[in-house]
Structure 1
Amino acid sequence: MSEPLPLVDAHHHVWDLDRRPQPWLDEPGHEPIRRSHGIEDLRRAADRPLAGRRLTSTVVVQCVTSVAETAELLDLAAQDPLVGAVVGWADLASPAVGDVLDELRSKPGGGYLRALRHLVQGESDPEWLQQPSVERGLRAVQHRGLGYDVLIRSHQFDQATRLAQRFPDLPLVLDHAGKPPIGQPAFSDWVRKVRVLAGHPQVRCKVSGLITEADHRTWTTDDIRPVWDVLLTAFGPERLMFGSDWPVCVLAGGWSRWAATVEHLLDDCSPHERDAVLCETATAFYRLSDHQNQK
């Protein structure tokens, strides 16, 4: 019998509210996920095969601006075989960011740190990513062979594009496709800007977080398909990666419903293209194969 094909979830979160508060969960509408979520909860949630594949590796992503949280995620990666990489946080604007990154990478599990992320979506400065102190921090990230997860809202594409222009050798991945305004008049502006960003070859894109940008209760695959069609044309399957955004996706249907939707979106893709979206793009970007034989 042949080995089952691998499935990588390139974007999920865990948190323990007894250990670390998550203030963003206090916002209205987050009641269904306002509890602790661990890696075993993800295993139970990811019970539906996607295109015949079952979950084999994940990328866990920071939630709060905390170096301590990142250290905890690295420890989780060292202990749990499902976690293949960590997207952490460090203060990019700090002159000491390089030292912080070196300390994180020296900890148990430090080798699983593969990228950094900042909650740019919450920054009011339209040129936050171009601040000299931030660019200095991004050079420290690049110098250490790490990537950068770009978390923006649809109105912030201009600074993401300038980032790609100014750092052509920094691997970038656009989280949640830049949070497209699904079903809104501004969607056409998102289409134009995501195509411009996709013109930079070092940029990848996560097919994740889309159902929470649609109506949480009434969305259908038809609502998501226009976003998918644009991403597939702009990036090509070799630069797209599946992500669940679990447990946030629970707000709009959960892991299994999102997986079923992605399976439908992939119907017209070749086996090679499905493999790229569901495994190979994330494996290459986050270097998941570096540790697959060490656990």
Structure 2
Amino acid sequence: MIFDTHLHLIDRSKLSYPWLSEVPALDRDASYDDYLSVAKRLGITSTLHMEVDVAEKDQTAETDMIEQLMQTKGGTLRGAIASCRPEAEDFPAYLEKVAARRSVYGLRRVLHVVPDEISQSDLFRSNLNRLANTSLTFDLCLLARQLKIGASLIDACPDVPFILDHCGVPDIAGGGYDTWAKDMKDLSRRPNITAKISGIIAYGDPQTWTLDTLRPYVEHTIKCFGWDRVVWGSDSPVCTLGGNIELWVAATHALIAGCSADEKVKLLQDNAKQLWQLE
């Protein structure tokens, strides 16, 4: 069975997504019903919703929407990773409110849509360190060129549990493996970060990628972080940029076919349960 740690749901009738207009291929609704109809066939039994970089005014409303969907009979949603703005002066008040919601297991601020210096600021880091007093994780969503920035942020917040999204977003189609691999190895030396093997088919050439294209990135990530610090995610619907969720699940199973049963269970389910204390 699979624990999907990275699902995006999009409802443009309820929430505003400023960035969608810049990505026409994703500028459409992504409903929970559509996800469920496929997920159950693929063996996905548990799911965490990942915030979709909604307009700041809609951050709380997005979590409200997920809490409502968690009541769906026969559903898989276990909780949410909520949006946040650690660069804001009012972050402490927001954190207090969101940490009190039993549905929220972590926070994320997409870092590749803001200037690099944002996450380097004293205010951002001071606010992020407040997560150390909660049970919340923080997802690092950044580009491969920003991995060193991510390492610096982690060093400044040693008691915060971090999750690295999408194998560090390697430019699989464009190359650059060696630099990515070196920076991933360095990043993995920090004990408070887990890597997410999620939706990397979106970063290969959609017409030509194969298992051999993806294999070096998945295997290097697992080698660096070890089987106890990796989790799996679909990154649906972003994964449709390189195929679809069915293709990504099939590719995942093929890529780990030679691994032990214990290793597979850790990646696909157990590590996520332990990380977020979900049974």
Q: Which ranges in structure 2 are unaligned for 5 or more consecutive residues?
A: none
In the alignment, which residue of structure 2 is the partner of 1:58?
47
SS of 1:36's equivalent?
coil
SS of 1:17's equivalent?
coil
Q: Could you tell me how far 1:132 is from its partner in structure 2?
A: 0.7
Q: 1:77 to 1:132 in 2, by over 3 A?
A: farther
Q: Please, which moves more after superposition, 174-183 or 190-199?
A: 174-183
Aligned: 1:148 with 2:145: no
Give the letter aligned to residue 7 of structure 2. H
Distance 2:65 2:115 in 1: 28
* Matches for 1:85-100 after TM superposition, within 5 Å: 85-100=79-94
Deviations 1:111-140 (A, max 9, x none): 121111111011222x43221110121022
* Matches for 1:55-204 after TM superposition, within 5 Å: 55-65=44-54, 66=56, 67-76=59-68, 78-80=70-72, 81-106=75-100, 110-125=101-116, 127-204=117-194
* Matches for 1:187-226 after TM superposition, within 5 Å: 187-226=177-216
Distance 2:31 2:226 in 1: 33
Note if contact 1:9-1:55 (Cα within 8 Å) is conserved in structure 2.
yes
Give the letter aligned to residue 17 of structure 1. R
Note if contact 2:206-2:242 (Cα within 8 Å) is conserved in structure 1.
yes
TM-score normalized by the length of structure 1? 0.87
Q: Could you tell me how far 1:102 is from its partner in structure 2?
A: 2.1
SS of 1:184's equivalent?
coil
Q: Could you tell me how far 1:142 is from its partner in structure 2?
A: 2.1
Aligned: 1:36 with 2:29: yes
SS of 2:48's equivalent?
strand
In the alignment, which residue of structure 1 is the partner of 2:260?
270
Distance 2:52 2:178 in 1: 29
Q: Could you tell me how far 1:177 is from its partner in structure 2?
A: 1.0
Q: Could you tell me how far 1:76 is from its partner in structure 2?
A: 3.3
Q: Could you tell me how far 1:74 is from its partner in structure 2?
A: 4.5
Distance 2:64 2:23 in 1: 27
Distance 1:187 1:69 in 2: 39
Q: Which has the higher contact order (CA 8 A, sep 6+)?
A: 1
Q: Could you tell me how far 1:255 is from its partner in structure 2?
A: 0.8
Aligned: 1:23 with 2:18: yes
In the alignment, which residue of structure 1 is the partner of 2:238?
248
Q: 1:142 to 1:148 in 2, by over 3 A?
A: same
Q: 1:212 to 1:185 in 2, by over 3 A?
A: closer
Distance 1:235 1:262 in 2: 17
Identity %: 26
Distance 1:103 1:183 in 2: 41
Q: Could you tell me how far 1:48 is from its partner in structure 2?
A: 4.3
Distance 1:193 1:279 in 2: 27
Distance 2:41 2:253 in 1: 11
Note if contact 1:179-1:213 (Cα within 8 Å) is conserved in structure 2.
yes
Deviations 1:8-28 (A, max 9, x none): 001010011111132322225
Note if contact 1:77-1:84 (Cα within 8 Å) is conserved in structure 2.
no
SS of 2:88's equivalent?
coil
Q: Please, which moves more after superposition, 20-29 or 90-99?
A: 20-29
